[in-house]
Each structure stands twice: as C-alpha cells, then as structure tokens.
C-alpha cells in the first residue's frame, strides 16, 4: 500500500549526521518554496537518473467536503486525468504514449496524481498536469472513464486484506471526519451514485494552484516549474483532521478471509522524534520481510501474513498492525505480546542492529524518483515538510539517530496500550455485495 511506503519514510540528505554520505550529498540537489501564484513545490534533482517523477498533491477530504460521497476525491482526480483539456490529449493518454506510468492515490485527507516518465518527456508532462489540475475540467468521457477505473479499484480493494483492515480500523479510531470513511469504497454502487456535477464542484474547490504541492524528483530541475498565469490561485486548505474516538473499541466484521487488526493512536507529525520511534517499532516488529513478529508468524502459521506501519498523519498518527489469513488466539498473543514487550528497553546491542536495519529499510524504500516525490508530497501536505525523509535538513535521520532503547520504551508505554481491535471472519461468498 502506497501509504505504507510513505509512513516509514526516509532521509536523503544527512548532512548533520554521522553518515559519511552526508558530506557527499549537497543540499543543492534539493530546492523548495512557493510556486508563483500560490502552492508549494519541492524539487529533488538526481544527476544520474534517466526518469522524472512528477507529483501533484492536494489536501482534500476523500468523502467530499460534506462527507456525503466516499470515493469522490479518487473519482475527481481520475476524471480530470482522463479528460481532454482544450481539445488536447488527456494526461493519462499522454503519459501512456510516452511510455510512462501514471499513479493515482486517494487517502482520507489527501489525493494525489503522479507520473513517472523518461527524462526527455518531463517538461511536457509537467505542463499537461499543471494545466489540467490548476484549471480542472471534467468531460463526459473523462467522467465515464473515471467511473470505470474507480469501479475496478473498488472491486480490487475489497480483496486487499490490508486495505480492508485499515478501513475497518480507521472507522473505529475516527468517529467523524473523512478518516471515518474509506477513501475508496468497496462497492461499485457507492461510486456510481456520485453525480458528475458533485465531482466537478469538488474538483473546482480541491484542485487549485494554491492548494497544490508539486513535487519533482529524478531527472528534473527547478527551471521546469510552472510560471504564473496557469490556472486560478484558489485557496490553500489547512491540514484535514478527523475526530478521534474517546476509548478503544473491539469489533467483529465479515471479510473475504479471517484476520486480525489492531490500531494505536500515536503522536502528531510535528512530534518528529516520537513519530520516528513509532516508525522504528513498526519496522522492528511488523516489516513483512524482516519484522520479528512477521518472522515468528511465518514460522508458526505459514498461511498467515503480518504487516504493520505507523501512518504519519497531521494529528494524530496511527500505528496499524494486521494479520490476514488467520485470527487465532495464538496469533493474537504473538502480536500483542510483542507490542507489550516493547514497553521494556531493548538490549543495547540488539537495538543498535535494529536501528541500523531500520535506517537502511527507509533508505531502500525511497530510492526511486517516484518514491522520493511521494515522500516530499506526503510530509508537506501532512504539515511537516522538513521532516520529509530526504529533506535537505536531515530532520528524519537526526530523529532516528537520536533514538535509544529507553526512549523507544517510553513511547511504547505512552501510546501502545489498549488497541482498537477488529476481528474479521470469512464471510460466505454469496453474501458479498461487490
């Protein structure tokens, strides 16, 4: 899940830290600031890259400004990408012709579109994206294409255990606001009932220059940034938070397969050290390839799969852990027992090894231009751009380097007790609505 990659984060410029590459990574590779006429930008130049990643991020509620239409932000961004602007070629078709990839992601409080294209196509695609999204227009054919795409996404999401679990947990953790609703509904009916005029109105409000965060990475440079005059400036939205439940809950639901889900409310993005400690805990316990809980479950219950992440949100962040393919008490004990054990300081040698591995995982997860553009976009719209892994300030890696066993244990004691719990039971197939 894209959000998972973002939540772990990374650091690229480590100038203030002990890592030798810090001295080799000049801050001149990165530029950031305000776009002429409104909006923010971050440009990360990679001289060795043959690929340009171009992202546009917007703060916008996934269920709409009146929370009436879950899925409307996905529908809107997809419709614009598929609509011809002033008889031109739709963004989606342009990227396809250039041999690139187009990514669209909707989250409860954010929606983004990103293109990854060969270097010589970067300027053209950037122009097309900003033209389309700074003056949004939705054609009938674009809207239909978006409905078709969103319907496929909805059908697929119903069979992604981690997505289903996250939606179920968020519905419990957040009692009101956009995070209470799934960013992509799991039924086609929920999407097709959204009228085109509602989508157009949403797009006009959400997609403006002032509300945009433009992130470029790879074979790009600041000279490519759009000049003034393209699109209306609009209004920048503040970070969009949702209402947190007053006490943890335990819920059971039907799913496509049995599963367990846990959520703990964590620190806000501005508490960088605490948020990084939560990232560390998630990596140490739940990384699907290396996490201690993931490994133990793989050994004891080969058909079960564990993953977890700290989702770095404006306020508050949320640590999620999910088990798919099983919901036994043994699995329950493995997850909760490991989380409880984090409340005691780790052995110093083991901690050093785990932190080194954590920093490496973060760097590895954010090496592609598209991944770099993603982290800049995510952390900027959530409200702490300097904390973006890879930001020239090196804030993220400084926070990681400052962790010690006692501090991590104190964060576990502060945040990791009494989780929200969702238990999924496999539903009979004929009962599914999708």
Partner 1 sequence: MIRLSALVFALLFGAALPASALTIVRQPDPAANLVGTEVVLRAGLDRQTPAQNGLSALVAQAILQTPVGSSKQPLESAVAALGGSVTYAIEPRSVRFYLEGVPKTFDQALALFRQALGSPDFSYRSLAAARTALNERSRQNDRLALNVGIAMLNRAFYQNSDAGMPAYGLPATLANFDTADASRFFADHYRRGEAVISAVGNLGALSGEPYATLLDALPQGASQAVALHEPSLPSTTRELIARRDIPVPWLVAQYPAPKLGTRDFAAMLVLSSFLERTLGDVAQVPSVATRSFAQRGVGALYNFDAQPANVIVYVDGGLGDPSRTFATALTIVNVLGHAKLGGDLSEMKALAIGQFVDQTTTLESKAWLGGVFAEAAVPGDYAGATLKQIESVTAADLQHVAAKYLGAPTIALVLPRAQRTQ
User: Would you list the DSSP string of 336-356?
Assistant: HHHHHHTTSPPPHHHHHHHHH
- The pair of three-digit structure tokens given for residue 9, joined into one six-digit string: 């984060």
The residue within the footprint of partner 1, chosen from 32, 73, 92, 131 (CB under 8 A), is 92
Residue 2 touches partner 1, criterion: CB under 8 A: no
Query: What's the order of all strands across the beta sheet hosting 51-59?
Result: 30-34, 40-45, 212-218, 51-59, 110-118, 101-106
**Which 125-154 positions form the footprint of partner 1 (CB under 8 A)?**
145-146, 148-149, 152
Size of residue set near partner 1 by CB under 8 A: 58
Query: Which residue number, 82 or 336, has a Cβ lying nearer to partner 1?
Result: 82
Query: Which residue number, 77 or 272, has a Cβ lying nearer to partner 1?
Result: 77
Q: Which residues pair with 322 in a beta bridge?
A: 261, 307
**Closest approach of partner 1 to the CB of residue 190, in Å:** 19
- The pair of three-digit structure tokens given for residue 417, joined into one six-digit string: 């007790």
The residue within the footprint of partner 1, chosen from 16, 222, 356, 427 (CB under 8 A), is 356
Q: CA angle, corner 353, sides to 351 and 359, nearest 5?
A: 100
CA dist 168 and 357 (Å) reads 31
The residue within the footprint of partner 1, chosen from 367, 402, 406, 417 (CB under 8 A), is 367
Query: Which residue number, 213 or 363, has a Cβ lying nearer to partner 1?
Result: 363
Query: Which residue number, 160 or 315, has a Cβ lying nearer to partner 1?
Result: 160
Residue 400 touches partner 1, criterion: CB under 8 A: no
The residue within the footprint of partner 1, chosen from 369, 385, 394, 405 (CB under 8 A), is 369
Classify residue 20 by its DSSP letter.
Answer: T
**Closest approach of partner 1 to the CB of residue 431, in Å:** 19
**Closest approach of partner 1 to the CB of residue 24, in Å:** 5
Residue 35 touches partner 1, criterion: CB under 8 A: no
Q: Which residues contact 238 (CB under 8 A, 6 or more apart)?
A: 59
Longest Cα pair distance anywhere in the chain, in angstroms? 64
**Closest approach of partner 1 to the CB of residue 361, in Å:** 9
**Which 278-337 positions form the footprint of partner 1 (CB under 8 A)?**
290
Residue 399 touches partner 1, criterion: CB under 8 A: no
Residue 431 touches partner 1, criterion: CB under 8 A: no
Q: How far is CA 422 from CA 121, 132, 255, 316, 429, in A?
A: 46, 40, 11, 20, 20
The residue within the footprint of partner 1, chosen from 357, 383, 410, 432 (CB under 8 A), is 357
Query: Which residue number, 167 or 287, has a Cβ lying nearer to partner 1?
Result: 287
Query: Which residue number, 20 or 431, has a Cβ lying nearer to partner 1?
Result: 20
The residue within the footprint of partner 1, chosen from 3, 4, 55, 78 (CB under 8 A), is 78
Q: Which one, of 48, 107, 7, lies nearest residue 375 by Cα? A: 7
The piece of 16-24, 230-238, 264-272, 402-410 that touches partner 1 (CB under 8 A) is 16-24
Helix (H) / strand (E) element for 175: namely strand 174-176
Query: Which residue number, 235 or 367, has a Cβ lying nearer to partner 1?
Result: 367
Instruction: Write b or e for each residue in 208-218: b if 16 or more Cβ atoms lie within 10 A of its Cβ, otherwise e.
Output: bbbbbbbbbbb
CA dist 395 and 187 (Å) reads 41
The residue within the footprint of partner 1, chosen from 16, 34, 270, 353 (CB under 8 A), is 353
Contact 210, 234 (CB under 8 A): yes
The residue within the footprint of partner 1, chosen from 99, 238, 418, 431 (CB under 8 A), is 99
CA dist 317 and 301 (Å) reads 30
Determine how β-strand 40-45 pairs with β-strand 212-218. Answer: parallel
**Closest approach of partner 1 to the CB of residue 335, in Å:** 22
Site string for partner 1, 196-235 (x = CB under 8 A): ----------------------x-----------------
The CB density around residue 86, as the number of other CB atoms within 10 Å, is 8
The CB density around residue 107, as the number of other CB atoms within 10 Å, is 26
**Which 370-389 positions form the footprint of partner 1 (CB under 8 A)?**
370
**Which 45-74 positions form the footprint of partner 1 (CB under 8 A)?**
45-51
Determine how β-strand 420-426 pairs with β-strand 250-255. Answer: parallel
**Closest approach of partner 1 to the CB of residue 404, in Å:** 17
The residue within the footprint of partner 1, chosen from 4, 5, 6, 25 (CB under 8 A), is 25
For the purposes of burial, counting CB atoms within 10 Å of the CB of 370, is it exposed (0-12), middle (13-18) or buried (19 or more)? Answer: buried
Chain residues in the site for partner 1 (CB under 8 A): 10-12, 14, 18-21, 23-25, 29, 45-51, 78, 81-82, 92, 95-104, 116-119, 121, 145-146, 148-149, 152, 156, 218, 290, 352-353, 356-357, 359-360, 363-364, 367-370
């Amino acid at each position: 899940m894209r959000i998972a990659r973002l939540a772990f984060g990374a650091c690229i410029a480590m100038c203030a830290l002990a890592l030798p590459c810090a001295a080799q990574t000049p801050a001149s590779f990165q530029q950031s600031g305000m776009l002429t006429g409104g909006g923010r930008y971050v440009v990360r130049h990679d001289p060795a890259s043959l690929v340009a990643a171009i992202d546009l991020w917007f703060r916008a509620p996934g269920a709409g400004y009146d929370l009436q239409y879950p899925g409307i932000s996905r529908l809107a961004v997809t419709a614009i990408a598929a609509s011809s602007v002033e008889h031109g070629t739709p963004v989606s078709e342009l990227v396809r012709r250039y041999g690139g990839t187009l990514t669209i992601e909707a989250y409860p409080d954010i929606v983004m579109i990103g293109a990854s294209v060969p270097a010589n196509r970067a300027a053209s695609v950037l122009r097309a994206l900003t033209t389309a999204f700074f003056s949004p227009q939705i054609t009938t054919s674009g809207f239909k294409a978006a409905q078709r795409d969103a319907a496929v996404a909805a059908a697929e999401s119903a069979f992604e255990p981690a997505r289903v679990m996250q939606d179920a947990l968020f519905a419990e953790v957040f009692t009101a606001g956009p995070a209470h609703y799934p960013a992509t509904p799991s039924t086609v009916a929920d999407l097709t009932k959204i009228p085109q005029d509602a989508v157009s109105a949403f797009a006009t409000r959400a997609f403006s220059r002032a509300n945009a965060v433009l992130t470029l990475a790879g074979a790009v440079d600041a000279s490519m940034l759009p000049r003034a005059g393209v699109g209306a400036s609009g209004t920048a939205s503040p970070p969009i938070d949702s209402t947190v439940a007053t006490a943890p809950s335990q819920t059971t639901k039907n799913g496509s397969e049995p599963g367990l889900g846990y959520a703990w409310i964590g620190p806000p993005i501005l508490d960088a050290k605490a948020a990084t400690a939560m990232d560390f805990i998630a990596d140490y316990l739940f990384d699907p390839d290396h996490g201690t809980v993931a490994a133990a479950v793989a050994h004891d219950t080969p058909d079960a799969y564990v993953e977890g992440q700290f989702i770095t949100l404006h306020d508050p962040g949320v640590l999620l852990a999910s088990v798919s393919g099983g919901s036994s008490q043994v699995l329950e004990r493995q997850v909760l027992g490991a989380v409880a054990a984090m409340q005691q300081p780790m052995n110093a040698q083991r901690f050093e090894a785990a932190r080194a591995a954590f920093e490496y995982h973060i760097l590895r997860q954010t090496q592609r231009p598209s991944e770099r553009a993603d982290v800049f976009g995510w952390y900027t719209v959530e409200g702490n751009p300097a904390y973006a892994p890879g930001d020239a300030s090196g804030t993220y890696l400084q926070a990681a380097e400052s962790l010690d066993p006692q501090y991590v244990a104190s964060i576990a004691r502060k945040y990791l007790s009494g989780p929200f719990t969702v238990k999924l039971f496999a539903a009979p197939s004929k009962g599914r609505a999708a």
